[in-house]
Structure 1
Amino acid sequence: MEIIKMTKEHYSDVYELWLSCKGMGLNNLDDSEQGINRFLERNPDTCFAAFEDNKVVGVIMAGSDGRRGYIYHTAVNPQYRKRGIATALVDAAMDAMKNIGINKVALVVFRHNESGNEFWEKLGFTERHDLVYRNKAINEMIRNDT
């Protein structure tokens, strides 16, 4: 397995990977090629793809606002799970965050994504009970919760 920085050239393979993973929440705006390219332009050193046999088998997108780090859309092809790929991707993203001066990283996982929640808890990411997550769409988007 090889882990490299994710680039816009990886988009189609990464999007196909996301669609293969149950529990992913995608939408037609933020997760479009244009939306992901915009994210990668802002965060060129904190997003990674894992390759095996010249195939994208895992991905993690991470970014920061300069104060806090955030992890998005972490996924591993179901056929390649339980091999340490996700942990290696998280390690790469966390190291990258530390290198740019980020001290704390947060993420959001759907409550119904049991395997995702188990994974993050195993890595030491704790659940916050003192927050209420809120959002408001500025533009209408179509959600695709696989």
Structure 2
Amino acid sequence: MSDHLGIRHARLSDIDAVLHFWRTAAEGTSISDDHEGMTRLLTRDPESLLLAERDGELVGTVIAGFDGWRCSAYRLAVAPGHRRQGVASALMGAAQERFRALGGRRIDAMVLEANEPAHHTWAAAGYHREDHWRRWVKPLPVEG
């Protein structure tokens, strides 16, 4: 295994590989973890999904979304065999560069409450938990 880690933007042709990767490397699932949701993301913002690759193998992902108001990091995931090797740091560094170039001021990260290893990763990267906020969600009903 080489030490070279490349970071690039995902393409529509990467969707199936990313969805498969998340089944083994990501904690939890999202309502948008399907081909339609990924196509919508990459069509709307082609630079939002960052992929980390080592020797052609997908080893990490992060969605670095910016809506013009807020920078949001989602789906930071690293393959189990590549953890603690700087993959998450490289992905978040690339996300921060993107946010800075877009004029972002602060990054919000969605982190599962029960994912203790992720808490340590985010804290080591300089993030802190804000206990005075809670996420409220409502799934949209499917029409038709």
Could you state the TM-score of these two structures normalised by the residue count of structure 1? 0.88
The corresponding residue for 1:18 is: 22
Amino acid at match of 2:58: V
The corresponding residue for 1:49 is: 51
Amino acid at match of 1:61: I
Matches within 5 A, 1:81-96: 81-96=83-98
Q: Which runs of 4+ in 1 moved over 4 A?
A: none
Q: Deviations over 1:3-23 (max 9, x none)?
A: 111122111111111111252
Aligned CA distance change for structure 1 residues 134 and 20 (closer, same or farther; 3 Å): same
Which of 41, 61, 64 is the aligned partner of 1:62? 64
In structure 2, the residue corresponding to 1:39 is in which secondary structure? helix
Q: Deviations over 1:33-87 (max 9, x none)?
A: 1111211222222321011121111111111110111011111110111110111
Question: Contact 1:71–1:106 at 8 Å: present in 2 too?
Answer: yes
Which of 2, 6, 31 is the aligned partner of 1:2? 6
- Which protein, 1 or 2, shows the higher relative CO under an 8 Å CA cutoff with sep ≥ 6? 1
Amino acid at match of 2:9: K
Alpha-carbon distance in 1 for matches of 2:36, 2:125:
31
Q: Does 1:125 align with 2:127?
A: yes
Alpha-carbon distance in 2 for matches of 1:46, 1:97:
10
Identity of aligned residues (%): 26
Question: Contact 1:46–1:97 at 8 Å: present in 2 too?
Answer: no
Consecutive unaligned residues of structure 1, counting only runs of 5 or more, are: 141-146
Question: Contact 1:17–1:76 at 8 Å: present in 2 too?
Answer: no
Q: Shift of the alpha carbon at 1:129?
A: 1.2
Alpha-carbon distance in 1 for matches of 2:34, 2:27:
18
Consecutive unaligned residues of structure 2, counting only runs of 5 or more, are: none
The corresponding residue for 1:143 is: none
Q: Deviations over 1:82-112 (max 9, x none)?
A: 1101110010011001101111110111111
**Matched residues, number:** 138
